[in-house]
Amino acid sequence: MGLKGKVAFITGVARGQGRAHAVRLAREGVDIIGVDLCADIASMDYPNATADDLAETVEQVKAAGARIVARQADVRDYDQLKAAFDDGLAELGRVDIVVANAGIVRLAGGEDIRRQVWKDIIDTNLTGVWNTTEVSVPALLEGGRGGSIVITSSTAGIKGPGTLTPGGQAYAAAKRGVVGLMQTLALALAPHSIRVNTIHPTGVVSGMTQNEAMQRLFETNDPAVASMQNALPIQILQPEDIANAVAWLVSDEAYYVTGISLPLDAGFTAR
């Protein structure tokens, strides 16, 4: 796939899709700069990944034959994120791929903390993506080898859910917002052969979906999740399904693909 010897910067790397991206790319000979918050956010209603989860990602990447520089960093904090990225760049010497994957969601009410829920989701899922590109694009440009940026959006970035919850609204707004960011970057970076795309997964097995808070919503047929149905008879995707698509998207096989929103959704957005 033309990936051997490249370096990828991945956020939210401790578990779920982020870990799957790191391991999949490692198998193609890609070294990894990985960051994760590894701490809970008080306004969210499920636990984030832990330092132990990040350590497990490190072991899996090494087992796949690649190097990894892993740091705990918050994508909401530009200086913290830049310090983590710079550590990886200094050790691995280059960056070719950026996967802005870190994200959070809260679909249950949180009526007493509406503004905080909105702020935390927008800060992580939209501003955090912008921070990720801000710290990495200068190195991509300086490398002069082109490159690829993939931003994890969602089916909610194509087809927003009907909900009055602040988390559902913030999530859809952020996931639609990163599409606009992607398009502006794709046009600006195209002369440098740096491709920028968004992916839009349906439900994927991860800590974000496999938790007590989400289970309660499904059990009560909450409106926030009742409409989440795929067209294909596939209830939920595996993180490796998304990682396989991303590996193609960042590879030389997709050298002509930029500025697109790629649904990875089992027909969800066609319904």
What is the residue range of 91's domain? 7-260
Q: What is the pTM (predicted TM-score) of this model?
A: 0.95
* pLDDT (0 to 100) of residue 194: 98
* pLDDT (0 to 100) of residue 226: 64
CB-based contact 16:206 (threshold 8 Å)? yes
CA distances from residue 59 to 5, 62, 68, 175, 264 in whole angstroms, order as listed = 19, 5, 9, 31, 28
Number of structural domains found in the chain: 1
User: Which residues in the chain land under pLDDT 50?
Assistant: none
- 268 assigned to some structural domain: no
- 217 assigned to some structural domain: yes
Could you tell me the end-to-end alpha-carbon distance of the chain, in angstroms, rounded to an integer? 33
- 145 assigned to some structural domain: yes
CA dihedral 248, 235, 173, 146 (to 10 degrees): 0
Residue 159 burial class via C-beta count within 10 angstroms: exposed 0-12, middle 13-18, buried 19 and up: middle
* pLDDT (0 to 100) of residue 22: 98
- 81 assigned to some structural domain: yes
Q: How far, in Å, CA of 47 to CA of 211, rounded? A: 8
- 267 assigned to some structural domain: no
Mean residue pLDDT of the chain comes to: 95
* pLDDT (0 to 100) of residue 87: 98
CB-based contact 246:99 (threshold 8 Å)? yes
For residue 180, the domain's CATH number is 3.40.50.720
Q: How far, in Å, CA of 137 to CA of 271, rounded? A: 36
Tokens of 73: 């960093």
- 266 assigned to some structural domain: no
CB-based contact 70:59 (threshold 8 Å)? no
Tokens 């599409």 locate to 179
- 15 assigned to some structural domain: yes
Q: How far, in Å, CA of 72 to CA of 35, rounded? A: 6
- 1 assigned to some structural domain: no
Residue 162 burial class via C-beta count within 10 angstroms: exposed 0-12, middle 13-18, buried 19 and up: exposed
Which listed residue (78, 171, 255, 256) is catalytic? 171
Element (H, E) at 150: strand 147-152
Say whether 171 is catalytic. Answer: yes
